[in-house]
Amino acid sequence: MKKRCSRCGETKPRAAFAANRAARDGLQGYCRPCVAEYHQARQLAKGRNVRPRVETPEGHKYCRSCGETKPHSEWHRNASASDGLSTSCKACRAVKSRAGHLKRHYGLTEAERDQLIAGQGGVCCICLAAPAAHVDHCHETGRVRGVLCFSCNAALGQFKDRPDAIRRAAAYVEGIAWKPTLVAPGVYQLPS
């Protein structure tokens, strides 16, 4: 079934019209392109800043963050958006997410994190070999300690940031035999 747009006069399929519960047929009187054009003209008349409309091929969308036109497969779904797609492409959303994560969790900007990495010579503070990529912080105070490689950051997490456990692990790896002495039931004393 088709409908005639009362603005441009063209007869178009019903999918070209947005929903309007107040109308008898349940659709707006203007087609989607005419509504967009009308809205932009009204905003300009009110003196508001209007973004220029970018024409894109079918199955593509323009990302205002990176300025590129990308296929729909490069966009996350968003059921509440008029076109069903996110406002930024997947790559731009990933960049924004990383920056937001750093700010929320550690209070750092990407520039501050990069400055920390540069201060460490670009390598992990612990192993001094792998590239630094993961921000390490004290779980009690929230203070950022440095930037570590994935393995060293995971190892600290496995040791639950307990210096005594880390010292015992270092002694174990160095070949110092761990022979605790039972002092009381369940209480062991380590040799000096």
pLDDT tens column, 37-92: 999 999 999 999 888 778 899 999 999 999 999 999 999 999 998 889 999 999 99
- Distance between CA 130 and CA 175 in Å, rounded? 25
Average pLDDT, the chain: 91
Name which residue leads in pLDDT, 189 or 77: 77
- Distance between CA 51 and CA 46 in Å, rounded? 14
- Distance between CA 108 and CA 117 in Å, rounded? 12
β-bridge pairing 85-89 and 134-137: unpaired
Q: Does residue 189 surpass a pLDDT of 80?
A: no
Assess contact for 190 and 170: CB atoms under 8 A.
Answer: no
Assess contact for 61 and 72: CB atoms under 8 A.
Answer: yes
Q: What is the pLDDT of residue 185?
A: 86
Name which residue leads in pLDDT, 43 or 178: 43
- Distance between CA 17 and CA 6 in Å, rounded? 11
- Distance between CA 172 and CA 184 in Å, rounded? 23
Residue type, 27: L
Which tokens in the block code for residue 32? 């989607």
All domains of the chain in start order, with CATH: 1-53 (3.30.60), 55-106 (3.30.60), 107-189 (3.40.1800.10)
* Cα dist from 4 to 17, 23, 47, 166, whole Å: 10, 14, 31, 75
Residue type, 24: R
Residue 84 dihedral angles phi and psi, to the nearest 5°? 80, 10
Q: What is the pLDDT of residue 51?
A: 80
Q: What is the pLDDT of residue 177?
A: 63
- Distance between CA 153 and CA 169 in Å, rounded? 15
Q: What is the pLDDT of residue 174?
A: 82
